[in-house]
Homo-oligomer: A and B are copies of this chain.
Amino acid sequence: MRALVYRGPFDVSVDNVEDPRIEHPNDVIVKITSSAICGSDLHMYEGRTAAEPGIVFGHENLGTVTETGSGVTSLRAGDRVVMPFNVACGFCKNCLAGNTGFCLTVNPGFAGGAYGYVAMGPYKGGQAEYLRVPYADFNCLKLPPGREHEEDFVLLADIFPTGYHGCELAEVSPGESVAVFGAGPVGLMAAYSAQIRGASKVFVVDRVPERLQKARDIGAIPIDFTQADPAEQVRDQTGGEGADKGVDAVGYQAQAHTGQAEEPATVLNALVETVRATGKVGVPGLYVPNDPGGVNEAAKHGLLLLAIGKLFEKGLGFGTGQANVKHYNRQLRDLIVEGRAKPSFVVSHRLPLDQAPQAYDKFDKRIEGYTKVVLQPAA
């Protein structure tokens, strides 16, 4: 089959690779109709990880079941399914607690697995014609047949639940004000999720006018952090209080208020200032324990200067970590089915698999409006 293969930094190609096959009774094979490119794929693409050549990328996958293992009971060939980016077993201590992003079974020695990602286990990615899905009864979420909502549903694999996870970690509840840092796809999904959860006021902090405009389009209040201290701007619009809750949808590649330099803790510390005393902050944005490109020795080891004194004085709580997609995807699917959510507004491009290399190049350069690309291998 054809698949997008990593060849080295800034080098991916669509090649012929071996077809996936049933390796275990609980596997299914899925023909991929949509597979999105994620911002985190760029970490590998840019060579800022330990990814070796040969990896097939793609952890945001939707398609049709073509073959089922002998142990699979709830799925049939022809079923339309979307898979969480996390691979999970469904029966370990963490999966049982709903923490399917930290499965102890699928990637021995580590808590958590994923498709097509360095160090996340032996699972091939779905930017390809076919994908093997292990523990399929657990990992597949069934969708209504047909092609309806295809671009909404594919976002159930990662960024819609990831944005929602930010709100869950921050315990966003009706009537609250929320400050989301970052207006990329995940930040927009977090803002959108905050509104679904009944927030009274959602701020989205960024500096890119197009992104801020998208935030405004969905009814959020854009905050341009280059104009003034974002904490001050939020306080000004909350009667001096600050936001009830906050979400960090940026992560460790955050940039300073001025200039392009990375300042990896700047968003976390801005949230400490922005969120009111007793508030909670959700951090779905990625921080890593080893960053070869870190701005200094500490940062290379994931150690950042955090305003702990202030954080404690305000009695803030922080929840972190990658989303447990399985924990949210059913209810978010139902919102899409019923027309109450339409997250596909963040999708900028849908392309055949063959155009994936160019899409990576443009997405990485953030040019021509490439913000969220959905590949369509089976189209």
Interface residue A218 (Cβ < 8 Å from any Cβ of B): no
Q: How far is the CA of A26 from the CA of B71 in the complex (A)?
A: 6
Known A96-B330, A197-B197, A326-B96; judge A315-B320 contact (CB<8 A): yes
State which of A3-11, A85-93, A356-364 sits at the interface with chain B.
A85-93
Interface residue A277 (Cβ < 8 Å from any Cβ of B): yes
A305-326 vs B, CB cutoff 8 Å, 1 = contact: the mask equals 1111111111111111110001
Interface centre among A287, A306, A315, A331 (most CB of B within 10 A): A315
Interface centre among A99, A198, A268, A326 (most CB of B within 10 A): A198
Interface residue A40 (Cβ < 8 Å from any Cβ of B): no
Known A97-B278, A308-B304, A309-B291; judge A320-B317 contact (CB<8 A): yes
State which of A51-59, A167-175, A207-215, A346-354 sits at the interface with chain B.
A167-175
Q: Can you tell how many copies of this chain the complex includes? A: 4
Contact A319 B321 (CB under 8 A): no
A283-294 vs B, CB cutoff 8 Å, 1 = contact: the mask equals 100111111000
Contact A303 B312 (CB under 8 A): no
State which of A121-129, A226-234, A333-341 sits at the interface with chain B.
A333-341
**How many residues of chain A are within 8 Å of chain B by beta carbon?**
83
Query: What's the minimum C-beta distance from A266 to chain B, rounded to whole angstroms?
Result: 12
Please name all residues of chain B whose beta carbon is closer than 8 Å to the beta carbon of A277 when the two chains form the complex. 94, 99, 102, 111-112
Contact A196 B174 (CB under 8 A): yes
Specify which of B198, B265, B320, B331 is in contact with A176 (CB 8 Å cutoff).
Answer: B331
Known A278-B111, A287-B308; judge A314-B321 contact (CB<8 A): yes
Interface residue A225 (Cβ < 8 Å from any Cβ of B): no
Please name all residues of chain B whose beta carbon is closer than 8 Å to the beta carbon of A47 when the two chains form the complex. none
Contact B288 A313 (CB under 8 A): yes
Specify which of B69, B197, B200 is in contact with A174 (CB 8 Å cutoff).
Answer: B197
A99-115 vs B, CB cutoff 8 Å, 1 = contact: the mask equals 10110010000011000
Contact B69 A71 (CB under 8 A): yes
Which residues between 15 and 48 of chain A lie within 8 Å of chain B, taking CB atoms? 24-26
Interface residue A147 (Cβ < 8 Å from any Cβ of B): no
Interface residue A252 (Cβ < 8 Å from any Cβ of B): yes
Contact B105 A175 (CB under 8 A): no
Q: How far is the CA of A306 from the CA of B306 in the complex (A)?
A: 6
Specify which of B69, B196, B312 is in contact with A320 (CB 8 Å cutoff).
Answer: B312
Interface residue A332 (Cβ < 8 Å from any Cβ of B): yes
Interface residue A355 (Cβ < 8 Å from any Cβ of B): no
Please name all residues of chain B whose beta carbon is closer than 8 Å to the beta carbon of A169 when the two chains form the complex. 317
Specify which of B94, B177, B326 is in contact with A278 (CB 8 Å cutoff).
Answer: B94
Contact B308 A268 (CB under 8 A): yes
Known A96-B330, A174-B196, A317-B317; judge A301-B309 contact (CB<8 A): yes
Known A91-B74, A175-B330, A200-B335; judge A307-B303 contact (CB<8 A): yes
Q: How far is the CA of A92 from the CA of B71 in the complex (A)?
A: 15
Interface residue A201 (Cβ < 8 Å from any Cβ of B): yes
Q: How far is the CA of A176 from the CA of B313 in the complex (A)?
A: 28
Interface centre among A24, A252, A309 (most CB of B within 10 A): A309
Contact A318 B321 (CB under 8 A): no
Please name all residues of chain B whose beta carbon is closer than 8 Å to the beta carbon of A138 when the two chains form the complex. 90-91
Question: Can you name 6 extra interface pairs (CB under 8 A) apart from A201-B338, A287-B309, A302-B307?
Answer: A24-B71, A70-B70, A174-B197, A278-B321, A303-B307, A306-B306
